[in-house]
Chain A
Amino acid sequence: MSSDTPAPEPQSQTLSLPEMEGGGASGLRAVLGGILSSWSARISAAVLLIIVLMSVFAPLVTSHDPIQLDPAIRLQPPSAAHLLGTDSYGRDMFARIVYGSRISLLVGAGTVIVALLFGMIIGVLTGYFRWVDAVLMRVMDGLMAIPGVLLAIALVAISGGTLVTVLVAIAVPEIPRVARMVRGVIMGVRNEPYVEAASVLGTGMWPMVWRHMLPNTVAPLIVQGTYIFAAAIMTESILSFLGAGIPPEIPSWGNMMADGRLYFLLKPELIFFPGVMVSLTVLSVNMLGDVLRDRLDPRMAKRL
């Protein structure tokens, strides 16, 4: 074909092109906007928004210091000065809950990022190269065989309890699940004609993965991400409650529950308030995730 090909004759057959509508790329955006049409999603989103705002503007929400000890006013009931009372060290419960949301959200988001990032890398490698698959997926199977909380406790015990190690410890057990999912998608699209078509056009491995394969994982990863987020907040609470989590001086909802355990019969609200916060957050994220999944994967929604 030469470049000076004459322009074709005016078309004899009329082309009936469909009306310009939302393209494929904006499909995801439409879904994300569309989910707010459901009531459960709206309420969940509102609750999460409040919690996020609360954590970002914590110093404005409460004037109390969450870690300042004041034995003189320990175990006080809720009052005007201390909205939710004080704990066994005389720290303001409301301030601790507000600042605790920072930890929970940080752990949730951090875990999602770490788990998705490593899960994606491993998933792409195992999905693309058969020999890597044989080796890496066995390691993943091994990781999956150990209960997540147990593995996290072991990791924290080995590396010591700082925020970063706790975060990694919570993220590691989630990686195999993400890797499996990404691997499945990659293997599924590897034989799609459009992937073969791209290879016919001389597209190399990384552009192939980036342009033609990974976009297929976005929707399931968003859904998976919400579940990991919720699970991470739960696991952090469990670890802190067991004393294997974040250092006790850092206000986290799990630490608060651990502290309140001793006074549970006397002052049940010490566990009740942080417990409600964990439940609310996890429930909201999960509900949002369910709606997202229904929207992004309608087939799955019908089956459930």
Chain B
Amino acid sequence: MTNQAETDLPVLSVRNVTIDTIPGGAKPIVRDISFDVRAGETVCVVGESGSGKSVTSMAMMGLLPKDALRVTGGQILLDGEDVLSVSEGRMRALRASKVSMVFQEPMTALNPVKTVGEQVDEVLRIHTKDSRAERRRKVLSMMERVHLPDVERIYRSYPHQLSGGQRQRIVIAMALILRPRLLLADEPTTALDVTTQKQILKLIKELQEEEGTAVVFVTHDFGVVSEIADRIVVMNRGDLVETGDCRQILSAPRQDYTRMLVSSVPSMQPRCAPLTDQPKVLEVVGLSKRYGKPGKSEVLAASDITFTVRKGEITGIIGESGSGKSTVARCVMRLTDPTEGAVVLQGQDIAPVRNLRAVRQKVQYIFQDPYRSLNPRRTIAQSLMEGLVNYGMPEREAREKAARTLELVNLPAAVMERYPHQFSGGQRQRIAIARAIVMEPDLLIADEAVSALDVSVQAQVLALFEDIRERTGISVLFITHDLRVAAQICNALVVMQKGCIVEQGATRDVLTNPSHPYTRALIDAAPAPDWDFQNFRPLPLAV
């Protein structure tokens, strides 16, 4: 623990930092950023993509790509030493001993051909004079401190033999083994499932309290922020918008941008009532999907899945990675062939249908990544008209219909002749949605359709789904890992774990009164479940 005198001096002091591209652009990409981080304090740098939050954290580590970006002004003081003016050698010494970093994707941060033990050991080998036996003892004890089980075995394991959460623990062990004064964490839990995320956040907090480490936590997720932040730095397009302590930002943000950002975070409060009197559009009965040969190498991706979607209903399939939720969606779409079971669409079982053309018109699919689901070489008009023309609509009529549909997703028809790269992620997702609904399907499958989007854009796209449902009475099967998103728009929920449905029912019932321990664990793991972001206040206690 640090004493009082030390905590008064900031560990990290970012002063008027400006970062520009090489050669300089019209406007620097990070402009005049200043904030302090004290020992034992967690400062969250929050912003949407392109806000400059990652670039700023790279600058603190002296890791800006030399031929592309440089700091053109300001100071970054680490215990009073300006990391922008020190030599390469000194910077190397500072890294790991005074400042270290945890990255988003632990798989790429680790060397795949060395055991994780060796990799943690390497940090000690380079920066200390400890003997081999001493280092090994330290590595194993650090692994225990990050709560890895069976550390002797893990020491000898390769990264691919560990789970995502375990890998991130290793990366944290590497970062903290030299007891740095400052830990930079750049979206360290974004690639992890919620339950794992909760554990990792708890771990960082715990180690930080033991060591008095200052933590800069870069994230886009306000749920995470509200769990761990002491203070918050809000960035937008390279500018520092607002700083303040956690409670103040969440309950009384001063700037409009911050208000917009915070209120875009969906609350965990279920909003949509179940629909029970509508006809069934989709019935999935006993659906299973097995990969591999029966017996030894068989993998059960989905097993005995049964649920229904009614007209005008948004049914959510919730689950963590590997739960089989996407497999189910792909089976319904027949992008994957189910091993057994029936997929009854408007009274017709489409599981055994061989001619998929007739089926495809009735079900449409929206993919997760709007950057890859639109052919970059085709104009928006070509993409939107493709399906209509495939089913025999004359080109002129298809074009008119495409234009009308674009307006339905709030894009002007004038953009028809442009190419996907001219649009932002949110706009592309709107285009992808337009491409699906222009076919007038009975059922729309949205596979993590808002997961790749920034929160403010996500809020707009969710509103768009609501709007389209209202206008067209379409049914939606909404696949997501995010309970908050599900709470916002789903009438009913299906919770999946390891290929099986563990619970299903009206969103209201599932979220407020979960019957299965896994559902409860998911709800508990969701960060800040009790904060109503839209209204800047705690949620009224659930009944």
Contact = CB atoms under 8 A, between A and B. Distances in A.
A24 B419 contact: yes
Given A201-B360, A201-B390, A203-B386, A25 B377 contact: yes
A16 B86 CA distance: 41
Interface string B330-349: 00010100000000000000
Nearest to B437: A1
B427 A23 contact: no
A15 B411 contact: yes
Given A13-B460, A197-B365, A203-B390, A211 B335 contact: no
A200 B333 contact: yes
Contact of B367 (A8, A25, A193): A193
Interface string B393-431: 000000001001101101110010111111110010000
B220 to A, nearest CB: 20
A194 B437 contact: no
A158 interface: no
Interface of B: 333, 335, 356-357, 360-361, 363-365, 367-369, 372-379, 386-387, 390-391, 401, 404-405, 407-408, 410-412, 415, 417-424, 427, 432, 435, 437, 439-440, 460, 468, 471-472, 474
B372 A194 contact: yes
B386 A193 contact: no
A199 interface: yes
Given A3-B404, A197-B374, A197-B435, A23 B367 contact: no
Contacts of A196: 335, 365, 367, 373
Given A17-B423, A194-B375, A215-B377, A200 B390 contact: no
A213 to B, nearest CB: 10
B379 A23 contact: yes
17 contacts: A1-B405, A1-B437, A8-B408, A8-B410, A11-B410, A15-B412, A16-B424, A23-B422, A24-B419, A193-B369, A194-B372, A197-B373, A198-B386, A201-B386, A203-B386, A211-B386, A212-B375
Interface in A209-223: 211-212, 215
Interface string A4-17: 01011001010111
Contact of A24 (B367, B373, B421, B468): B421
Contact of A17 (B367, B375, B415, B420): B415
A199 B386 CA distance: 10
Given A193-B368, A199-B335, 19 more contacts: A5-B408, A13-B410, A21-B422, A23-B417, A23-B418, A23-B419, A24-B376, A24-B419, A193-B373, A194-B374, A194-B375, A196-B373, A197-B373, A198-B375, A201-B390, A201-B439, A202-B387, A211-B375, A215-B377
Contacts of A25: 377, 419
B410 A17 contact: no
Contact of A1 (B363, B379, B432, B440): B440
Nearest to B367: A193
Nearest to A25: B377
Q: What is the interface of chain A mostly: helix, strand, loop, or mixed?
A: loop
Contacts of B378: 24, 211-212
Contacts of B391: 202
Contacts of A207: 390
B360 A200 contact: yes
A3 B390 contact: no
B387 A3 contact: no
B379 to A, nearest CB: 7
Given A23-B419, A24-B421, A3 B386 contact: no
Q: Which of A193, A196, A204, A207 has the most CB of B within 10 A?
A: A193
A54 B247 CA distance: 80
A20 interface: yes
A192 interface: yes
A86 B423 CA distance: 65
A34 B268 CA distance: 53
A18 interface: yes
A17 B387 contact: no
Given A24-B419, A197-B374, A200-B365, A5 B432 contact: no
Interface in A80-133: none
A15 B410 contact: yes
Interchain residue pairs A-B with the least CB separation, the first 9? A201-B387, A193-B373, A1-B472, A24-B419, A202-B390, A193-B367, A194-B375, A23-B419, A193-B372
Nearest to A189: B375
Given A8-B408, A15-B412, A192 B372 contact: yes
Contacts of B424: 16
Contacts of B407: 7-8
A260 B335 CA distance: 65
B333 A24 contact: no
Contacts of B375: 194, 198, 211-212
Contacts of A2: 472
Contacts of A15: 410-412, 427
Contacts of B404: 3, 5
B376 to A, nearest CB: 5
Residue in A11, A196, A215 with the greatest tally of chain B CB atoms within 10 Å: A196
A18 B432 CA distance: 18
A203 B382 CA distance: 13
Nearest to B397: A3
B435 A201 contact: yes
Contacts of A202: 356-357, 360-361, 387, 390-391
Contacts of B377: 24-25, 215
Contacts of A13: 410, 460
B240 to A, nearest CB: 21
- Most chain A CB within a 10 A radius of its CB, from B356, B365, B379, B468: B365
Contacts of B437: 1
Nearest to A4: B404
A48 B460 CA distance: 56
Contacts of B417: 23
B367 A1 contact: no
Q: Looking at A1, A2, A201, A212, which has the most chain B CB atoms within 10 Å of its CB?
A: A201
A15 to B, nearest CB: 7
A23 B420 CA distance: 9
Given A1-B474, A13-B460, A200-B360, A18 B422 contact: yes
Interface in A1-54: 1-3, 5, 7-8, 11, 13, 15-18, 20-21, 23-25
Given A193-B369, A194-B373, A202-B361, A20 B422 contact: yes
A197 B365 CA distance: 7
A198 B360 CA distance: 10
> Most chain-B Cβ atoms within 10 A of its Cβ — which of A8, A13, A194, A200?
A200
A1 B436 CA distance: 11
Contacts of A204: 357, 390
Nearest to B361: A202
Contacts of B415: 17
A217 B391 CA distance: 28
A8 B470 CA distance: 13
B418 A20 contact: yes
A280 to B, nearest CB: 36
A199 B361 CA distance: 11
